[in-house]
Structure 1
Amino acid sequence: MRKSYTPTINELQAFAACARFGTTTRAAAELNLTQSAVSRSLGTLEERLGVALFDRVRKRLVLSPAGQVFLAQAEDILGRIDTAAMGAMAFGGAQAVLRMAVLPSFARSWLIPRLAGFEAAQPQVSLDLSARLLPVDFERDPFDLAIMRSRHEQIGAEIESLVAEELIVVAAPQLMAGRAVLDDEAVLDLPLLQQSTRPTLWLDWFRESGRDARRILRGARFDHFDMILDAASAGMGLGLVPAIIAQGALASGRLVQASPRRFATGESYALILPERAREAPHVSAFRDWLRAEIGA
């Protein structure tokens, strides 16, 4: 049961609109209400809380100190209500919504190009995909699963390795200047595109070579592997990327593998499932589909 001092949604909307526009007239136009309705909601809210939320200055509404404190919380509440409503609306005619947190480059370069196949096989499941670099807190975030590197394992979550992470060197065909492959010295003669969130990858590639780190770490820096793929495609330099993420660009001819070597990082791409979602039919269907796609 709502307590007497707990504001209604209409009161919060009226307050937030008045804070944005400074007058009840403009707030009413924004909310598609009459000016008197907004004034009543604002007056009822101030009476309910027992505090003035605005100072009336020359026919304008200026937030009082109490109103300034209240505004951030009120906007947060309204935002979360909107998010909750949209989350419910996402079901539409679907029986379930599959909420996934996926590494950005894996999502863009490998998963998304294949998702139409899952939708065709499971039309009753609606997809909700978020790009995440950091580990998911399944207690806080309402995801059904995550696809991360294996080091992102969560306590209480089941982790299933999908494919070992192997790095390869890729280049635009024109950057190869007619050469089929490059040895390590030829690689160092070209700009090396750096992954800023994993800055030691090129150092790992040349770990046993004894070469000067200052030569290895030069080159433009990018946050995500898919950005490195784009930069390499534009001829900006050589990219060192996971083989699975480069599959599409290599298959299309947009990039070529510039070195015959591969480097295993010791990690893998992994499917991470919270306990609450493991037996859900739509999650199980996605896991089976994902295994089949990885196997193919």
Structure 2
Amino acid sequence: MRRSYTPTIAELEAFCACARYGTTIRAAHHLGLTQSSVSRSIGLLEDRLGVTLFQRIRQRLALSDAGRLFERDAQEILADIEEASLKVMAFGGQSEVLSLAVLPTFANRWLIPRLGRFRAVAPGVTVDITSRLDTVDLEAEPFDAVLQRGPVEQDTPGVLHLMDERLIVVASPELLGGSRSLDDRQLAALPLLQQATRPTLWLEWFEAAGLDPRTTLRGARFEQFSMVLEAAVAGLGVALVPGFSAAREIASGALVNASTNTIVGEFPYRLSYRPGSETHAGLRDFLAWIKTEAASASGG
């Protein structure tokens, strides 16, 4: 039988406690174990790895060079195990866990405010949402579904069209000086807030206006639409954002529409999943629910 060089959790815990407290007595007290069991775990670990992890100096334990190198990784391993355990415990009592990768602003401004209605129709399903800006590979990553922007070809298995992206221009009332609607030349004279991951948005907006495109690239730059919105509320400039993302600020009066025009983004919002996985109850319930929500939001 092949010998295992992988430490046990008990050995890692004993090692980290001894590294922290400097004696097996104090480490044992911290772990709620006997001194002999801690000493045995350290001995087994050193034998397993074939290195001396501690120098024994006058009844004190001092990390060796190998021990110092190993301590950081050991601490990270134990922290990862604890985090994984807490994640699983958070879903206790639920029959289904649905893991979703979602664009951050879409998650914050569209999906999460509606999840109460999903819980009402599928109380046994818990969602685990991860914010993702980059492309997700469903074959390589452990997500049940992905909500992002992308092309949607008719009858493509595993791809659901949610809604087109309709972009609007908003600004703080103070920045507009009482005006409620500006033409493109007036807009171009104001600071234009930039979205870093989609740097051509303002170019697309002004494409038909015949304006110098260089003037549309000035203004503070932010990674996410939620940041762009906060900057607009603070009066830093004019924002070009998806309409749903600014609904809260428009309703409160913190932002107003700065143009009567809108543009449709190149790609719609879509939900992707592995074909065939919709037979799982949690994903099946979510697909049915989000179709209804998207149709209602689009007025269809």
Q: Same fold (TM over 0.5)?
A: yes
- Going from structure 1 to structure 2, the CA distance change for 1:2 and 1:110 (only over 3 Å counts) comes to farther
Where does structure 1 lack aligned partners over 5 or more consecutive residues? none
- For residues 211 and 32 of structure 1, the distance between their equivalents in structure 2, rounded to whole angstroms, comes to 73
Identity of aligned residues (%): 49
Residue 172 of structure 2: aligned partner: 172
CA-to-partner distance for each residue in 1:155-198, whole Å, 9 max, x for gaps?
Answer: x9722121112221111233232222110111122221111121
Match of 1:281 in 2: 281
Partner-residue secondary structure (3-state), 1:129: strand
Partner of 2:189: 189
Q: Which amino acid aligns with 1:141?
A: E
Q: Equivalent residue for 2:10?
A: 10
Alignment match, 1:149: 149
- Tell me how far apart the structure 2 counterparts of residues 11 and 242 of structure 1 sit (CA, whole Å): 53
What's the CA shift string for 1:250-286, capped at 9, x where partnerless? Answer: 3343322211111222201110112463221111111
- Native 8 Å contact 2:102 2:132 kept in 1: yes
Match in the other structure for 1:162: 162
In the alignment, what sits opposite 2:65?
Answer: 64
Q: Is the 8 A contact 1:172 1:254 kept in 2?
A: yes
**Counterpart Cα distance in 2 of 1:256 and 1:208:** 23
In 2: Cα distance, 1:143 partner to 1:283 partner: 11
Would the aligned equivalents of 1:110 and 1:248 in 2 still touch at CA under 8 Å? no
Distance 1:152 1:105 in 2: 20
- The answer to whether residue 117 in structure 2 is matched with residue 117 in structure 1 is yes
The 5 A counterparts of 1:199-214 are: 199-214=199-214
1:17-36 CA distance string (max 9 Å, x none): 33455554554454344444
- Report the Cα offset of residue 52 of structure 1: 1.4
TM-score by length of 2: 0.86
Give the drift of 1:147: 0.5
**Aligned-pair RMSD on alpha carbons?**
2.8
Q: 1:62 to 1:165 in 2, by over 3 A?
A: same
Q: Does residue 259 of structure 1 match 2:259?
A: yes
Query: Measured at CA, do residues 33 and 213 of structure 1 come closer, stay the same or move farther in structure 2, by a change above 3 Å?
Result: farther
Conserved in 1, the CA contact under 8 Å of 2:144 and 2:273?
yes
How far off its partner does 1:242 sit? 1.3
For 1:64, the aligned partner's letter is D
Equivalent residue number for residue 218 of structure 1: 218
CA distance in 2 between counterparts of 1:264 and 1:20 reads 58
Report the residue type matching 1:174 in the other structure. E
Closer, same or farther in 2 for the Cα pair 1:205/1:116, shift >3 Å? same
Structure 1 243/72 Cα, relative in aligned 2: closer, same or farther at 3 Å? same
For residues 56-93 of structure 1, the C-alpha deviation after alignment (integer angstroms, 9 at most, x for no partner) is 4673422433x455445544543443344234323311
Which region of structure 1 is more displaced relative to structure 2, 240-249 or 18-27?
Answer: 18-27
Contact 2:152 2:161 in 1 (8 A): no
Please say which of residues 1-10 and 42-51 is displaced more in the overlay. 1-10
Kept after mapping to 2: 8 A contact 1:205/1:263: yes
Q: Secondary structure at the match of 1:272?
A: strand
Q: Which contiguous aligned blocks of 4+ residues in structure 1 show a shift greater than 6 angstroms? A: none
Indicate the SS of the match to 2:158: strand
Where does 1:236-251 land on structure 2 (aligned, <5 Å)?
236-251=236-251
